[in-house]
């Protein structure tokens, strides 16, 4: 009964978010996967695709503390995590916490800030804690970073280090809407009185229950081994008959890829009303988990080969052994 209750709650979340956001079901699905499996999400897409609006609306529906941080070249680590300030009355230093102390963090255009800010964000993402001065503060749970980056403008940006990219569970490419969906967006937003009111659907306790339920989803040993084979195919492509791909891959994916493939596939299965994982779940989520972890060389770039091409070929070549 609890499982049915939680699955119905997820449907209610979709319905409530759709009161404000038109389309973008794929993005909403991936954001929920990250939330319910404790994984950070990197969203990439051109401006105006409702990335910020979707995250903001989701925070309201889930009734979580939400902070939007606009990353700029002059942003300092203290602007993100907080700093020590001197109190003249007490003649002592006090901690002034920054916006990172929230449940949902929208790091807008995260690639526009320099290395020191990236390092501060990295500690928060990985360790779920922040160090200010000599004191370490644990962050509230759940804690999720939803970062966006604009692929169009590259001037004045700082490419994310591979170590930080690897901390993102999924990298989701956000695409343009269909004609009918954009027509609906235009009609809604052309109305200056449109406010898009939403109601709370989930509590923090129910989010924890959802995480536990997804964690109980079963995955067969053959599918666990299938995930490992996919991961190793990115590291040793020639061993899997991927001779051409071996010329393009500079580095394969890290062990975090196999962990996140497992978690995300379980979430997809649960969303679909199942307590067991199918091969299709792994294949469906593979691109989002692997695309930012495979590092291609200059030869691939020169020939127009993308990580999407590489992953498609790996999925075709690697078989599931019972």
Q: Residue 113: phi, psi to the nearest 5?
A: -110, 150
Neighbours of 148 (CB within 10 A): 23
Stretch (H or E) spanning 109: none
Separation of alpha carbons 60 and 219, rounded Å: 33
* Helices 221-235 and 255-271: angle between axes, nearest 10 degrees: 140
Confidence of residue 132 (pLDDT cuts 50, 70, 90): confident
Mean pLDDT of 253-275: 93
Lowest mean pLDDT, pick from 23-32, 85-94, 110-119, 179-188: 85-94
33 pLDDT higher than 70: yes
Is 96 within 8 Å of 83 (Cβ atoms)? yes
Domain architecture of the chain: domains with CATH? 2-208 (3.40.50.300), 217-317 (1.10.8.80)
Bridge-based pairing state of the strands 129-132 and 104-108? unpaired
**What 8-state DSSP symbol labels residue 319?**
P
Separation of alpha carbons 238 and 225, rounded Å: 19
Separation of alpha carbons 291 and 307, rounded Å: 6
Q: List, in sequence order, the alpha helices (H) in 77-220.
A: 77-81, 115-127, 162-165, 179-190, 204-215
Q: How much is the pLDDT for 244? A: 85
């Amino acid at each position: 009964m609890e499982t049915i209750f939680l699955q119905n709650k997820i449907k209610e979340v979709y319905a409530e978010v759709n009161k404000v956001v038109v389309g973008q079901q794929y993005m909403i699905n991936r954001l929920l996967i990250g939330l319910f499996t404790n994984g950070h999400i990197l969203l990439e897409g051109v401006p105006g695709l409702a990335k910020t609006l979707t995250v903001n609306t989701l925070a309201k529906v889930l009734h979580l503390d939400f902070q939007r941080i606009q990353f700029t070249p002059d942003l300092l680590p203290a602007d993100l995590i907080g700093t020590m300030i001197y109190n003249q009355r007490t003649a002592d230093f006090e901690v002034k916490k920054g916006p990172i102390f929230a449940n949902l963090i929208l790091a807008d255009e995260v690639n526009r800030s320099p290395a020191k800010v990236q390092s501060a964000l990295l500690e928060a993402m990985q360790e779920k804690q922040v160090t200010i001065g000599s004191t370490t503060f644990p962050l509230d749970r759940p804690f999720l970073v939803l970062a966006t980056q604009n692929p169009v403008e590259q001037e004045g940006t700082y490419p994310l280090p591979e170590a930080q990219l690897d901390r993102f569970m999924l990298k989701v490419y956000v695409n343009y809407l269909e004609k009918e969906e954009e027509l609906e967006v235009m009609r809604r937003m052309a109305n200056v009185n449109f406010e898009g009111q939403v109601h709370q659907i989930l509590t923090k306790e129910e989010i924890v229950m959802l995480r536990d339920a997804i964690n109980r989803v079963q995955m067969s040993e053959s599918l666990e081994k299938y995930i490992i084979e996919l991961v190793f195919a990115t590291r040793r492509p020639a061993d899997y008959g991927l001779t051409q791909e071996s010329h393009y891959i500079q580095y394969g994916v890290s062990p975090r890829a196999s962990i996140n493939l497992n978690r995300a596939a379980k979430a997809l299965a649960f969303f679909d009303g199942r307590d067991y994982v199918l091969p299709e779940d792994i294949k469906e989520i593979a691109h989002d988990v692997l695309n930012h972890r495979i590092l291609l060389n200059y030869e691939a770039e020169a020939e127009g080969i993308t990580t999407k091409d590489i992953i498609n070929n790996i999925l075709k070549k690697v078989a599931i052994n019972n």
